[in-house]
Amino acid sequence: MIEEQIQYSKLQAISRQMGETLQRISRSPLVSQDRAFAAAIFTNELELAVQHQFKPEHLFAVKESVAHLFDYFSFDISDGDVLLVADPYNGGTKGQSLTMAAPLFYQGELVLFPVIRVQMIDLAGEFPGGFHPNAFEIWQESMRITPIKLYKQGLLQRDVLKFLLANSRVKSLYEAELNAMYACLRAAQTQLLSLMKHGKKQLDHAISVMSDYSHRRILEQIKQFPNQDMHSELTFNSNAEVINLHVTIKALKDRLKINFEGTSKQVQTPVNAALSTTKAYAVWPVLAPIAEEVAINEGLLQAFDVVVPKGSVLAPKFPAAVGLSTVITGHYIAEVITKALKNNDTADDLYLEIHGPGPQAILFPPFGKERETEPLFLAPGFPESLQGWGPSALFGDRKLVSAEELEFNYHFKMVKREQKDKQMIIQIINQGASFDVITIIPEKAGRSYGEIKMDTKENNLVLHGSTVGNRLNHGDEIAFIYERGGHQ
């Protein structure tokens, strides 16, 4: 076991270094600040060997995106190929999250290979950044990138690259991101080859052992759950839609079955969650207590069986919009799971209340003025977790944007960032040019998740829901109010 742990740790180091390198060389604040990415290594059987991630949404999406890529290209994958996919209906979560896989061949056979998944800054769509509160179909949110080869046998498909870049409002940054991802994957491939040259069989064995270990650890956890069907329901809102989530959890001998039968049908707003999103957010409350101790790998994923009715808000049919699912619906999925466990007196240490959505905004210069329009994803604070220790886990590992950075890069002066009682309040004055503002604020009857206030020369707005079409001009103020765990 010690030998296997050492071997596996080397593999983990490669995966981790992929992520660290990406974070350091990336020009996108979504990567360098928000850490909206995941890095992983897969076996030749397309089993997840190891995964590092800083956002909850990636848990299943990396594996399922890779599966779709290999299903699509089947026996047409060669050494030097680099494959891309960014499609909620091809294993993904939301349109902007792009998976890049670099299949690796050793002595003519497919072997361990690296994969990176990153949220791109913009893939066209109606609004920069891809978050469109009024979208009802996927093309409004971003370009669909179905499985495509960016490199073919080591050769860049230059016209494909130009095609992709032409469909972004931030072409230069997009290209830099693709280059950064590619560089990280190539470096990881070199390291993997080096590792395999020193004993491929031992490495394969170590992956198998550690995957079994993760699986056992989860099963140990599951065994302690009440031996009964655990139900719960939750209702939330999106525009005029009332959405009901219904879950039944059952701890089986070899897995935890999470069944969302009874959940509302898909809706005409972008809170529909792709299947990979639903799985990730359903699993995290159970995983959270041991997440630091257990590696994310195939064994871990296999311990969960998530059943979702097709056509429901948690597994919509193409082409429903899904863009807000990771920032809104995911939290409600986690909450309904937590509620089911709590209602049935599951021991406190077997799950965690990790949900806690809050307001955020996407700001961008008015359309059509410049060749590139870079959105700013602004969440200058966080809703304090229910336990009172910093942000809720589902808020991710994003770094809190610094006042200096906002001032330097965007001419936004942060005049207040204070925490008192159960609130965090941030006030920012725009000392630069005009920005259009999209707000994303969770909605649930009888409960507040905070608000965004815009104090402009024309009017004073207090926003409690997701909106488009407001403008923040020079001298205007925007304030974010976060509520701890959602205020009743």
Partner 1 sequence: MDQKMIVSQVVGGSLDAIAREMSATVTRTARSPLFNEAHDFTTGIFDLSGHKSRLVAQAPGCTLHLYAIVGAVDHLIDTFRYDLHPGDILLVNDPYHGGSHSLDWTIVMPVFYNRKPILLPAVRSHMGDNGGPVAGGYNPNSKDIWHDGLRIPPLKIYERGEKRQDVFDLIVANNRLSHWLEGDLDAMIGACKLAANRIQKMLDQYGADQMIGAIDERIAYTERRVRDEIASWPDGTYSAETFADHDFQGNRDIKLKATVTVSGSDLHIDFTGSSKQAAGFINSPLSNTTSFAFVGISTCCDEDIPINEGYMNPVRVTAPVGTVVNPELPAPCGHATACVGAEIAEAVLLAISKCAPKRVGVNAHKLPLAYTNGVDEDGNQWVNLNFFGYTGGAGAAFETDGWGLYPPVMTGVTLPSIEMNEIQYPSRVLKHEYVADFTGAGKWRGTPGLDVQIQHLADSSTSVMMAGVRNTTKGFVSGHDAPSNLVIVNYGADNQQAVEETAFAVKMPPGGIIQFRRAGGGGWGDPFEREPELVLEDVKNGLVSLSAAAKTYGVAICQQSLTIDYEKTEQLRRK
How many beta carbons lie within 10 A of that of residue 317, not counting itself?
12
The nearest distance, CB 200 to partner 1, in angstroms, is 30
The nearest distance, CB 353 to partner 1, in angstroms, is 38
- Residue 165: both structure tokens together: 């870049």
Q: Pairing between strand 145-152 and 48-53?
A: unpaired
Please work out the total of residues on this chain that contact partner 1, with binding judged by CB under 8 A: 31
AA letter at 33:
Q
Report the site for partner 1 in 147-206 (rule: CB under 8 A).
147-149, 159-160, 162-163, 166-167, 169
Among 1, 227, 368, 445, binds partner 1 (CB under 8 A): 368
The nearest distance, CB 70 to partner 1, in angstroms, is 13
Let me know: does 430 contact 338? Beta carbons within 8 Å: no
Among 367, 387, 431, 433, binds partner 1 (CB under 8 A): 367
Exposure string for 186-202, b = 16+ CB within 10 A, e = fewer: bebbebbeebbeeebee
Among 18, 38, 62, 145, binds partner 1 (CB under 8 A): 145
Among 197, 371, 420, 457, binds partner 1 (CB under 8 A): 371
Strand order in the sheet with 467-472: 376-378, 360-364, 435-440, 467-472
Strands (E), 209-293: 230-238, 241-251, 256-259
Among 55, 144, 215, 398, binds partner 1 (CB under 8 A): 144
Q: Should residue 25 be labelled a site residue for partner 1 when binding is judged by CB under 8 A?
A: no
- Residue 76: exposure state from Cβ atoms within 10 A (0-12, 13-18, ≥19): exposed
Quick note: the x/- pattern for partner 1 over 107-136, rule CB under 8 A, is -----------------xxx----------
Between 124 and 414, whose beta carbon lies closer to partner 1? 124
Q: Should residue 428 be labelled a site residue for partner 1 when binding is judged by CB under 8 A?
A: no
Among 140, 238, 266, 338, binds partner 1 (CB under 8 A): 140
Q: Should residue 446 be labelled a site residue for partner 1 when binding is judged by CB under 8 A?
A: no
- Residue 142: both structure tokens together: 């971003």
Closest CA to 243 of 343, 354, 320, 342: 320
The nearest distance, CB 148 to partner 1, in angstroms, is 5
Let me know: does 427 contact 418? Beta carbons within 8 Å: no
DSSP 447: B
The nearest distance, CB 27 to partner 1, in angstroms, is 20
Between 173 and 256, whose beta carbon lies closer to partner 1? 173
The nearest distance, CB 144 to partner 1, in angstroms, is 5
Between 169 and 279, whose beta carbon lies closer to partner 1? 169
Among 96, 189, 221, 373, binds partner 1 (CB under 8 A): 373
Compute the distance between CA of residue 324 and CA of residue 237 in angstroms, rounded to an integer: 12
Q: Should residue 72 be labelled a site residue for partner 1 when binding is judged by CB under 8 A?
A: yes
AA letter at 251:
A
Between 371 and 420, whose beta carbon lies closer to partner 1? 371
Between 30 and 170, whose beta carbon lies closer to partner 1? 170
Between 87 and 483, whose beta carbon lies closer to partner 1? 87
Q: Pairing between strand 304-307 and 256-259?
A: parallel
Instruction: Give the C-alpha distances (Å, rounded to integers) separating 292 from 188, 214, 276, 394.
Output: 23, 12, 22, 15
Between 135 and 210, whose beta carbon lies closer to partner 1? 135
- SS3 of 349-364: HHCCCCCCCCCEEEEE
Report the site for partner 1 in 77-96 (rule: CB under 8 A).
87
The nearest distance, CB 4 to partner 1, in angstroms, is 38
Instruction: Give the C-alpha distances (Å, rounded to integers) separating 437 from 376, 420, 434, 454.
Output: 10, 27, 10, 10
Residue numbers at the binding site for partner 1 (CB under 8 A): 72-73, 87, 124-126, 137, 139-140, 143-149, 159-160, 162-163, 166-167, 169, 317, 319, 366-368, 370-371, 373
